């Protein structure tokens, strides 16, 4: 996993504009408290790929809510870093690196977003990568380990604090699914191979599907109303959801990690 002075391997690097908008919307809409007390917060777009567009978009979205944010795009491929340098400027720089997350002065980051990166590794490599990323956080910082489809219409991500993973978020364009479990093929690496009977993530996705089917009559009022009812049903059934109807209307639902974490 270690390549010279950086930790990681060069991945495919495919990306598209607006591919990560759902995660960015979640960060700016629900996690502002994590950088409220930092006058110069840092966000990392780790493994941004062959095009730096996601780092540029993250910069623009974060500056809209906090004008002092600085985004660092980190790529293990030196050619990708060189190709992005012309976009460096206020609020955005690019450096070569990997899971060790090299930042000036060794300071920590408020956000480390690693999307569509670990899905290209083996499941056994995830814990070590998580541990490295968690060490690079500020006390209130968050790591996002996520996966999405090519257009960002189906996305999932795990949020990790210094102490460990805290939640799983599913965010979809409701017109892009027939049922919630359609997102299963875009689960993060830590969960995608655990979607089998006996695992918590399997139970969770099936609970989503059952509630979605039960509330099918609400489709007459639109898929948003059906998804809202689905989320309310899950909460009534005891699933520890971490958000509210404001997020559910977006096709987004977040559950506590303990409810879906892999069994030993």
| Token reading at 125 | 């490599």
CB of 114 within 8 A of CB of 144?
Answer: yes
* Cα–Cα distance, 229 to 202 (Å, whole number): 20
- CA quadruple 134, 135, 136, 140: dihedral sign: positive
Ramachandran sector of residue 34 (left: φ over 0; alpha: ψ -120 to 50; beta: rest) = alpha
What H or E segment, with its residue span, contains residue 135? helix 126-135
Q: What is the model's pLDDT at position 37?
A: 83
Confidence grade of residue 13 (pLDDT, cut at 50, 70, 90)? confident
pLDDT of residue 3: 54
Which position has the higher pLDDT, 126 or 3? Answer: 126
Kindly report the pTM of this predicted structure: 0.96
Per-residue pLDDT, averaged over 234-250, amounts to: 97
Structure tokens at 2: 């270690």
C-alpha–C-alpha distance, residues 102 and 106, integer Å: 7
pLDDT value of position 10: 87
CA triple 99-138-129, angle to 5 deg: 20
Confidence of residue 2 (pLDDT cuts 50, 70, 90): low
Cα–Cα distance between 260 and 204 in angstroms, integer? 7
pLDDT, position 36 = 84
* pLDDT score at 15: 87
């Amino acid at each position: 996993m270690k390549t010279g002075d950086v930790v990681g391997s060069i991945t495919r690097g495919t990306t598209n504009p607006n591919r990560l908008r759902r995660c960015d919307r979640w960060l700016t809409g629900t996690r502002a408290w994590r950088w409220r007390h930092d006058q110069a917060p840092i966000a990392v777009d780790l493994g941004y790929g062959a095009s730096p567009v996601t780092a540029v978009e993250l910069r623009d979205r974060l500056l809209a809510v906090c004008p002092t944010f600085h985004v660092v795009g980190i790529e293990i491929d030196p050619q990708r870093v060189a190709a992005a340098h012309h976009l460096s400027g206020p609020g955005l720089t690019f450096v070569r690196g990997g899971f060790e997350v090299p930042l000036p002065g060794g300071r920590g980051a408020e956000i480390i977003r690693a999307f569509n990166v670990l899905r290209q590794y083996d499941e056994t490599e995830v814990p070590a990568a998580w541990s490295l990323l968690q060490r690079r956080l500020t006390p209130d910082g968050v790591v996002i380990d996520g996966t999405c489809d090519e257009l960002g219409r189906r996305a999932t991500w795990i949020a990790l604090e210094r102490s460990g993973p805290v939640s799983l978020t599913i965010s979809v364009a409701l017109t892009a699914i027939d049922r919630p479990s359609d997102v299963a093929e875009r689960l993060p690496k830590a969960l995608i191979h655990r979607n089998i009977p006996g695992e918590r993530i399997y139970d969770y996705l099936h609970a989503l599907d059952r509630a979605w089917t039960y509330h099918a009559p609400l489709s007459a009022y639109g898929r948003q109303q059906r998804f809202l009812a689905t989320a309310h049903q899950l909460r009534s059934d005891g699933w520890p959801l971490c958000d509210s109807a404001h997020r559910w209307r977006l096709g987004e639902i977040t559950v506590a990690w303990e409810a879906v974490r892999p069994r030993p």
